[in-house]
Structures are given as structure tokens and as C-alpha cells.
Amino acid sequence: GENVEQHPSTLSVQEGDSAVIKCTYSDSASNYFPWYKQELGKGPQLIIDIRSNVGEKKDQRIAVTLNKTAKHFSLHITETQPEDSAVYFCAADSPLLTGNQFYFGTGTSLTVIP
Amino acid sequence: DTEVTQTPKHLVMGMTNKKSLKCEQHMGHRAMYWYKQKAKKPPELMFVYSYEKLSINESVPSRFSPECPNSSLLNLHLHALQPEDSALYLCASSQDGVAGEQYFGPGTRLTVT
């Protein structure tokens, strides 16, 4: 079945620096790749997503890139701010799963140091 | 508006209690989900309702009983839970049960004593 690996598990950056989180997946038939941000005590918030017919997508300071050949996708956060501190989860859909199910990565705890 | 609401925010219950978690969305979504999340782990899917019908049950113990009274509401009835069931219970919704964006609620923090 699908396996989504996420790295690193923890990441600390200085405020203003960039942060990059990487995920790899195993099922070449996966088509949809969302990223979620989860702050302490809250539910996951969809922050950006990408579909397999697109290589890159940007939304202000956040961007996601997808390399279908290599089966990996990455989240890029530029000009990080303390409020970016949270746990980030990547996910991938899979035709092996019925319905709208995702395989989630194991999460990255991002700390932005003021 | 991409809001999913959940009540209560926190719940403490004994192993013999019966309680219910509630979830509501007004985005016109036709698929709704229950997830369980343990600390420092990703969400684990429990149930999926698609067009008000239970479409997926991920081998969840019968002490968890979902209900979808209408397309906007989702309940999770709890009975005779175990301490290991303590977790954050998340509700999510999506346009349909086929593919696409899922929006999560804030969760209910459940503690079983």
C-alpha cells in the first residue's frame, strides 16, 4: 500500500529564514497532496494543496512543489514568523483506498525562534 | 466559509458513562469523517459518511457508534470506553466522498477515567 514518509520530524529556524519540509510517497497513482498545519490544541488546518497535473503552487509565503517522477513533494515557507510554529502534516490520496481517504505523513514540528 | 464546528471542546467521562460528540458543517458538503488523534501522531480515520450513508468503518470497536442525522450533522456516540480511548477526536468534511479537500474541526479532547 501507499507509504508517506515525512522529514524532518523537528525543525527549528530563526524568524525570517525559510523552512522546507519534504515528503515522499510510494503509489505513483496518487493525485492529490494536501498540507495541514496543526497548532497546539487545535484541529489540522488545510494550508495548501497540489494536484498531480501541477508542478508548483504558491500562496503568499507558502509554496508546494511536486515531482511526480521522483514521487516527492515539499512545503516551503519563506520569511518565517513565530506564528508559523506548529506541527505540519503532509498527505497523499491513493486509489488503493476507497472514498476520499488520505495517507498522512508522521508530522514535522516547526519552531520559529524570534 | 470553511468552518466545521465540534462540541464539546473537552469531555471527561468514566468507563461506564454514555456520551456523544457532535459535529456540524454548513458548507453543503456531502461527506463527513471522524478521526482519532493521539499526541504527536497524525489523524487516524475511524468512519466516513458519504451522502448520509456510512461508507467506511475502519474496524472501529463497537463502543464507538457514529450517526449522521442529516447532511450537516455528524454524531459519535460513546459507551463503555477504555482509558486508551483518550485522544483528540476530530471531525472533517469534504465536498463529496470521492476526492478533494477535507476541512477539519477543532476537535474534542476526550479523557476517559
Q: Residue B1's pLDDT band (boundaries 50, 70, 90)?
A: low
Residues 6+ apart with CB under 8 A from B59: none
Q: Residue A1's pLDDT band (boundaries 50, 70, 90)?
A: low
3-state secondary structure A33-95: EEEEEECCCCCCEEEEEEECCCCEEEECCEEEEEECCCCEEEEEECCCCHHHCEEEEEEEECC
Q: Which residue reads 472514498 in cell numbers?
A: A99
pLDDT of residue A29: 86
Could you give the CA distance from residue A57 to residue A32 in angstroms, rounded to a whole number? 13
pLDDT of residue A96: 67
Task: Give the tens place of pLDDT for each residue, A87-112.
Answer: 999 999 977 677 778 899 999 999 99
Task: Give the tens place of pLDDT for each residue, B27-49.
Answer: 999 999 999 999 989 999 999 99
Q: Is the pLDDT of residue B66 over 70?
A: yes
Task: Give the tens place of pLDDT for each residue, A20-64.
Answer: 999 999 988 889 999 999 999 999 999 999 998 889 999 999 999
Could you give the CA distance from residue B59 to residue B56 in angstroms, rounded to a whole number? 9
Q: How many CB pairs under 8 A join A and B?
A: 63
Task: Give the tens place of pLDDT for each residue, B76-102.
Answer: 999 999 999 999 999 999 998 777 899
Please answer yes or no on whether A89 and B42 come within 8 Å at the CB atom: yes
Cell of A110: 516547526
Q: Is the pLDDT of residue B2 over 80?
A: no
Please answer yes or no on whether B105 and A45 come within 8 Å at the CB atom: no
Question: Chain A residues with CB-CB distance to B under 8 A?
Answer: 31-32, 34, 36, 41-46, 49, 87, 89, 91, 93, 98-102, 104-107, 109
Please answer yes or no on whether A104 and B42 come within 8 Å at the CB atom: yes
Chain B CB contacts of A44 below 8 Å: 43, 90, 104
CA torsion, ordered B49, B42, A77, B1, to nearest 10 deg: 30
Cell of B39: 499526541
Residue of B41, B97, B99 with shortest CB distance to A93 = B99
